[in-house]
Amino acid sequence: MPENYFARYIPLLIHLILALLIATAIVLLSSLLGKHRPSKVKLQAYECGITPTGDARERFSVKFYLVAMLFILFDVETVFLYPWAVELRQLGILGFVEGAIFVAVLIVGLIYAWQRGALDFE
């Protein structure tokens, strides 16, 4: 190991220390100099302009989480289609076939989830 191996990390360490100091200073100055006038309206939860009613800890259906997971799954897989579409000409026919298989697997998965009722909220 070269003798100046750790010396290359000194700028990174300085950067991290400065970032922590600045963040701490901003939070402390805000809490010390900021106006604190709590009221009933300010302490109330904000719900997009709608007055909140009921308990915030109500139970949600499992289907809500299932739809959310499916959305994230298909959303992430859609992100993989962008680089494929950009490089499609250079990939040739083999790249097209592989991409078509990928899309077919996505469609089969969506149809399966749809038929199993994973997308129904009733």
Question: What burial letters (b/e) apply to 74-93, b meaning 16+ CB within 10 Å?
Answer: eeeeeeeeeeeeeeeeeeee
Q: One-letter amino acid identity for 11?
A: P
Q: Is 49 exposed, middle or buried (0-12, 13-18, 19+ CB in 10 A)?
A: exposed
The reply to whether 121 falls in a domain is: no
CATH of residue 23's domain is 1.20.58
44 within some domain: yes
Cβ neighbours of 18 (radius 10 Å): 10
Specify the number of domains making up the chain: 1
Instruction: Give the count of beta carbons closer than 10 Å to the beta carbon of residue 70.
Output: 16
What pLDDT is stored for residue 22 in this prediction? 98
The token pair at 21 is 């100091």
pLDDT means per 10 residues in the chain (122 residues)? 83 97 96 87 74 73 83 88 91 92 91 86 70
**Residue 32 within a domain:** yes
The distance of Cα 22 from the centroid of its chain, to the nearest Å, equals 26
Residue 102 lies in a domain: yes
Any domain includes 1: no
pLDDT of residue 73: 87
pLDDT value of residue 1: 66
The domain in which residue 96 lies consists of: 6-115
Q: What is the pTM of this model?
A: 0.49
Rounded distance, CA 24 to CA 76, Å? 35
In a domain, 38, yes or no: yes
Tokens of 91: 């990939």
